[in-house]
Every structure is written in structure tokens, then in C-alpha cells.
Amino acid sequence: MTKTTWINRGRLLWLVFALPLAACHSLKPSTDEPRSYHAQGVVEQISPERSKVTIHHRAIPGYMMEMTMDFPVKDAHELDGLSPGDQVNFTLMVDADKSWVTDFQRTGHSDIASTNGMAMADNTSTHLNPGDLIPDGELLTEEGKRIHLSDFQGKVVAFTFFFTRCPLPDYCPLMNRNFAQTRKLLKSMPNAPKNWQFISISFDASFDRPEGLTSYGNFYRGNDSDRWLFASADSTTLARLAPPLGLMIMGQDATLSHNLRTVVMDAQGRLYHQFNDNLWKAQDLADTMLNAAHLPSPK
């Protein structure tokens, strides 16, 4: 599953806008019951397998700004009769771990330029091949220090991209939950290796300042920062890292969207493996990191 590539409403940017939205961990429902939000928007794309629909939606009061996003659909038949350009009312359902859309009502149609946004996200998986050196880039850490990816030579590094105001639990928050579970797996190994590191990189550097990153990070790390760093990347670093990794950050006015990239870098700074969606599990990442270090998998 890929967060939208912003089909035709704005030009591609490697810059990030400061956006008025609460931190995503504060958006989790306090009970097991999913929350529902009524929304309006325009259908931009329906995935070939009809499990996702891309909608440019209006601001959802009390939850999130106007955005274009890929939303999961539980029942493909709910998309029957819908096509790109259709104006719809729909319901966004959100629980602690996932989100989906339902209850579509077609209200009209608007002419939108025909694009292949989802195919773009799928086909632009990466310009790097396994074994290629990953471009170096400067990061601002949660401690206010400036470091480089090259500083981690000798370690297997998993890094992912996020922003703290990401609204849906199965996008940026899921990446961090998976990091937490993977780290737990690695730390629980007998004779655990030491040459691994996690880095969660915010591309919203203007908002995600060091002190805020520490607070946000501790929500997922349980106040244990051992081998898990939160940092931000400015536009210069993003311009170096994003194109070869196929990372797309797109915005217009006060809206923002991005796709998902989680990268495993080997001890020589080379690409070992890249996850391009949110379907991977903690065990997948643990296995990949240990393979990169030529170590057995945790069981």
C-alpha cells in the first residue's frame, strides 16, 4: 500500500510544508471501537485489484487537512459504479492500527486530467540496485546534532521516512510500530549482534524540531533510545536521497502527501533491500537486517 503520489494537483517537491495537524500518536482512538469521519472528495484512481482508491478529499474536521491519499477498501464491491472524476461522499474509519473507507455515495462528476498515479508509485520502486552505494546526506538529530548517513559505516542500518503529523495509523505510525517490534526481536536474540541501527527520518524539518522528535520517538521507543535515532532531513538532503530511492513528497498550498520507503543499508553503506509499501512485518525487517549482517534470523 502506498501513500498517494499526488496525481495532478501540484508539482513534485522535495520540500515539505509546515502543516496544521496534531501529532499522529495523539489521534489514536482511546477504545477498541473504530472512529468514523464523514468526508467528501473526488476519486482520482482505483487500483487494478480494487483494494485501494485514491481520493482528493476536503479537510476532515477534527482529523486531517485536505489531502490526496490512497485509502484501503475492505470490500471491492463498494467501488462498483465509481470511476475517476466522480465526486463522492464517503466514510473514513480509523482504529488504533488501521484505516479504511466505506459507504460511498456518488454526488457528481468533475473533469480531471487522466494520469496513472498508482502505477507511478509502483513502477518507480527505486533507481538503486542492491549493492549500489546510497547517497550520503546530512541529518539533524533529536539531540540537535548534525550527522551523516556515512557516520554509520560498519553497521547495518534500517531507515524510514515519516512526519509526526501523519494522520493515519497504517502509514507513518505503522512504520514506527514495526521498527519498535523489529528492535525488540533483535534485542531479544541470544548473543545479540551490536552492529545494527534504526533511523526514523522526518521530511517535515520545519515542524519536526529536535525536542519534538524526542517526545514523539519516546512514544514508540518507551524512553529507550538504544540504537534507534529520530532525525530530520532538510530539502538538500531530500534532494539527494529521494530520487534514487523513489521517495516522492508532493505538496500544494497547505497539503502534503508522500509514498513509503523503508531502506536497509549494509555495513558498507550500500543498498541491501528496500520495502516500498506498508505490507511488510517486523519479522521481515529483522530477517533482512540479519541477512545483511550475515547473521542467523531470530526465532
Separation in Å, CA 114 to CA 47, 89, 125, 298: 14, 21, 22, 47
185 phi and psi, to 5 degrees?
-60, -50
* Domain edges within the chain: 12-119, 124-292
Lowest mean pLDDT among 31-40, 170-179, 209-218: 31-40
* Mean of per-residue pLDDT scores for the chain: 83
Q: Are 47 and 53 a contacting pair, CB within 8 Å?
A: yes
Is the pLDDT at 23 greater than 70? The verdict is: no
d(CA 122, CA 97): 24
Q: Are 199 and 138 a contacting pair, CB within 8 Å?
A: no
Burial pattern 51-81, b for ≥16 Cβ within 10 A else e, equals: bbbbbbbebbeebbbbbbbbbbbeeeebbee
Q: Are 70 and 118 a contacting pair, CB within 8 Å?
A: yes
pLDDT of residue 62: 80
> Beta strands 12-13 and 67-72: pairing type?
unpaired
pLDDT digit string, tens, across residues 278-298: 889 999 999 999 999 986 555
d(CA 56, CA 83): 13
**CA distance from start to end of the chain:** 27
Residue with cell 505538496: 251
Architecture in CATH of 124-292: 3-Layer(aba) Sandwich (3.40)
Residue with cell 519479522: 283
Architecture in CATH of 12-119: Beta Barrel (2.40)
pLDDT of residue 10: 37
Q: Give, for 37, the enclosing helix (H) or strand (E).
A: strand 35-46
Q: Are 91 and 104 a contacting pair, CB within 8 Å?
A: no
pLDDT of residue 251: 61
Average pLDDT over residues 165-176: 90
The alpha-helical segments, DSSP class H, found in 58-146 are 117-123
Q: Are 202 and 231 a contacting pair, CB within 8 Å?
A: yes
Lowest mean pLDDT among 6-10, 71-75, 158-162: 6-10
d(CA 158, CA 181): 13
Q: Are 258 and 161 a contacting pair, CB within 8 Å?
A: yes
Q: Are 10 and 251 a contacting pair, CB within 8 Å?
A: yes
289 phi and psi, to 5 degrees?
-65, -40
pLDDT digit string, tens, across residues 254-266: 556 788 999 999 9
Neighbours of 286 (CB within 10 A): 23
Is the pLDDT at 252 greater than 70? The verdict is: no
Same fold, 12-119 and 124-292: no
